Amino acid sequence: MSKSFDGVVEQLKKRKLLSTTLILLTLAIGIVLGTLISSSVNAARQQVAAADATPLTIPNPVQVSNTFSQIAKKIRPAVVNINTESVVRSAVPKRRRRPSTEEEADPREDMLRRFFGPQFDFFGSPLEAPEGDQRVQNLGSGVIVDPNGYIITNNHVIDKADRIRVKLMDDATLYNAKVVGTDSWTDLAVIKIDGRKALPVAKLGNSDAVQVGDWAIAIGSPFGLEETMTAGIISAKGREIFQGLRGQFQRFIQTDAAINRGNSGGPLLNINAEVIGINTAIYSTTGHYEGLGFAMPSNVAVQVYNQIIKDGKVVRGSIGIHFRDDKNEALLRVYGAKEGGVLVSEVQPGGPAEKAGIKAEDVITAINGRPIRNGEELVATVAASPVGSALKLTILRDSKTVDVSVTVADRADVFKDRLAEVRGETEEPRQATEVMFGMTLSGVTREQRQQWEFNEPGGVVVTGVEPSSFAEDIGIQKNDIILAINRRSVSGVGEVRQIQRELRPGSDVAFRIMRPTLVGRRPSWQNLFLAGVLPSGQ
């Protein structure tokens, strides 16, 4: 019995083992078949997509040249964005317009446009006055050269602006700027802001060391895109783009680094992050970048800057002559000059040369015994001579040598009319107005009170509000009547002037005013309170 039972148990064990083995074998066969089918499908897919393609690999990080990024880190904090506001008034007579025919027009004057758009000519003046008063907002660039907030930019960026504001890198504040001085002949200007701390400054380079083919980097705010950096090379040096008076102090560095509207006044740099020029003009048929940009050399900018911070202006000597510096040796030989010289084409009426007896067709060959070969040498020598000093000019007249003594005068006085014409200025320049808080005031007369049905005692009437002034910013309008300032009643202009003297930049100023309105057809008065923080310069 025991043996029979043991046999049965043994058979059951064998059957169980067999069943387990069959199950495992079946699973193994299924896995193998599934793997083969999956592999076949994947292989088929790979063959259909790109059977002969090699997978790409990401290379290990490699340090590339970081020269330009290092330049950006050094210079960008010293480059500023300049915002200007001005109002072109309809009362101003029309300015010099562009010639109406191709025969009259200078093609270079058509193509050379400052970066404020085609409505501005080479010196930044509107070609024609618009109909009605118009507020113009413009953008430019500048570079900080002194930690106390002194900035070099272009004169045309800030010329005729009613308000100048400066934005620094990584600082949303718009700082009010004041003009320290300008120089129309080189189109350079110096402005100043009062920063909250010492400001970063750019390092100046020597533009005489620049060579054609050197790297050139421009930084500015083209089209308002702040801190834009572009690179190219120096294309040419000493480039003259205007003849006559316009070009006598303008010998530009030419570059193909991309510069556009808004770059004007920003720095042109060398590979050492040194400022070698101030971006000034572009040569373009469209008003946009076409590969030709021009920068005033940094050495010129330094000379202009130093005179401006010392005297507030740039003074250059002049003897009052006109000449054509085309270096035509045949022409000079005809007039008896064998080794260069400057042929006088015209003598400025009332100028030093006329008083000394110099005439058209004279050839200037030397100054104080030093040979003069061309007009550039003559201008450089005379301009650097102190006003009031005497120069001995050696001239050829009718093939005979004559020495003439000429007293140097201020160039701005000698060519006053010509300069105004070149810049497009009117004969009657805009007169400055004494204002208080940026507005003009007068007392309220008895007749005005009766006509306006104004019964409040005291007050002064606002006769005008200066554009972009403190008064305009807080909402004061023409014909408002001011009754009180900082809770002090006012009844005359003198009282307003006294209050203004007592205030300092940063002071809170509150006005109580009465504003005229109409209720039906009858005049009425609205009581208003306007206030603000007094900025500098008000």
Active-site residue numbers?
A: 156, 187, 264
Structure tokens at 534: 């007094």
Q: Are strands 203-204 and 274-283 parallel, antiparallel or unpaired?
A: parallel
Type of residue found at 516? P
C-beta atoms surrounding 327 within 10 Å: 12
What whole-number distance in Å separates Cα of residue 4 and Cα of residue 1? Answer: 5
Cβ 162 vs Cβ 466: under 8 Å: yes
**Among 440, 442, 417, CA closest to 429:** 417
**Among 121, 111, 120, CA closest to 138:** 120
Structure tokens at 209: 């060391």
Question: Distances from the Cα of 535 to the Cαs of 174, 177, 237, 447, in angstroms?
Answer: 12, 11, 43, 36
What whole-number distance in Å separates Cα of residue 233 and Cα of residue 212? Answer: 8
Cβ 247 vs Cβ 422: under 8 Å: no
Cβ 533 vs Cβ 473: under 8 Å: no
Cβ 265 vs Cβ 140: under 8 Å: yes
- Helix, coil or strand: residue 96: coil
Cβ 331 vs Cβ 343: under 8 Å: yes
Cβ 256 vs Cβ 233: under 8 Å: yes
- Helix, coil or strand: residue 310: helix
- Helix, coil or strand: residue 217: strand
How many Å separate Cα 105 from the centre of its chain?
Answer: 27
